Amino acid sequence: MGTGHDVYDNITNTQIIKKHMETKQNILLCEDDESLGILLRDYLQAKGYNAELYLDGEAGSKAFMKNRFDMCVLDVMMPKKDGFTLAQEIREVDADIPIIFLTARNLKEDIFEGFKIGADDYLTKPFSMDELVYRMEAILRRVKGSRVPTATLYKLGKFEFDTQRQILSCGSEQVKLTTKESELLGLLCAHANDVLLRELALKSIWIDDNYFNARSMDVYITKLRKHLKADPDIEINNVHGKGYKLIVPGGITITE
């Protein structure tokens, strides 16, 4: 018969295990190379993630619609439905879920296409599984930190930007921004009529200021320019070799 301490230890261990399971991140993993997919799934599970493997984009899409995931790791070249198409479908359901693309191709056109869709990162095969986990952890930390933003309302020209709701308004028109769009516009507003350094923006939002993240930021700058078109007095200018400048005649009013 076990002692009181044994019973206590068993209860405590059960509670710890249950708590650990509840806090695990759920990962949608889509990879058509079954051997690689199994290796990645098992490695992610060993690192404490709940990873579900699907061998084609169609199966991955069905799984995403039925279950809750914290991140998607998608191979680009898959049968039935490629990774880009799958990512677009996922973005229609959840605009903010982190997406990492895996690909055997190193074409810049593919990389740009991935970032246009809204990729958070891009890994070219072959890659280190440790590097994949490092990038996943960095993205998840950023996403977790951005879920409870300070309630701030920026008034700039004809626009109002609600950072907490991630909504940019111009009169009766409203645009729901993605998390990255909101974070980037927030930084630009904080540096209005001054230079926002590229390195600062990249390390604040993308964690790493590498080449691919810099190209991703350029895509988001283009998106923000389109959102701000309704007020011709407001511009986002490139400052060569330094970064960007949000031009707001009359300055910005901030309400917290």
Q: What is the pLDDT of residues 4-58, one digit of tens each?
A: 444 334 433 434 333 333 467 899 999 999 999 999 999 999 888 999 999 999 9
Angle between helices 108-117 and 211-227 (to 10 degrees): 50
The C-alpha angle with vertex 76 and arms to 69 and 40, in degrees rounded to 5, equals: 55
Domain count, the chain: 2
Structure tokens at 40: 């990645």
Are 112 and 223 within one domain? no
Are 87 and 133 within one domain? yes
The C-alpha angle with vertex 23 and arms to 22 and 25, in degrees rounded to 5, equals: 110
Structure tokens at 231: 């007020």
Are 139 and 165 within one domain? no
Are 17 and 139 within one domain? yes
Q: Which of 114, 130, 146 is the last residue of a domain?
A: 146
Are 124 and 243 within one domain? no
pTM: 0.53
Q: How many of the other CB atoms lie within 10 Å of CB of 224? A: 18
Q: Which of 120, 146, 172 is the last residue of a domain?
A: 146
Q: Which of 100, 117, 146 is the last residue of a domain?
A: 146
Are 112 and 76 within one domain? yes
Q: Cα–Cα distance between 27 and 50 in angstroms, integer? A: 6
Are 177 and 241 within one domain? yes
Are 115 and 240 within one domain? no
Q: What is the pLDDT of residues 179-231, one digit of tens each?
A: 889 889 988 988 889 898 888 888 778 777 788 888 999 999 999 999 999 99
- Among 27, 204, 22, 21, smallest CA distance to 129 is for 27
Are 100 and 83 within one domain? yes
- Among 106, 117, 70, smallest CA distance to 220 is for 117
Alpha helices in the chain (DSSP H): 4-23, 34-46, 57-66, 83-93, 108-117, 129-146, 179-190, 198-201, 211-227
Are 102 and 176 within one domain? no
Angle between helices 34-46 and 129-146 (to 10 degrees): 60
Dihedral sign, Cα of residue 85, residue 87, residue 89, residue 95: negative
Are 34 and 93 within one domain? yes
Give the domain extent around 77.
4-146
Percent of the chain predicted with pLDDT > 70 = 87
Q: Check which CATH number belongs to the domain holding 14 and give it.
A: 3.40.50.2300
User: What DSSP state is assigned to residue 159?
Assistant: E
Average pLDDT, the chain: 83
Are 213 and 236 within one domain? yes
User: What DSSP state is assigned to residue 4?
Assistant: H
Q: Check which CATH number belongs to the domain holding 165 and give it.
A: 1.10.10.10
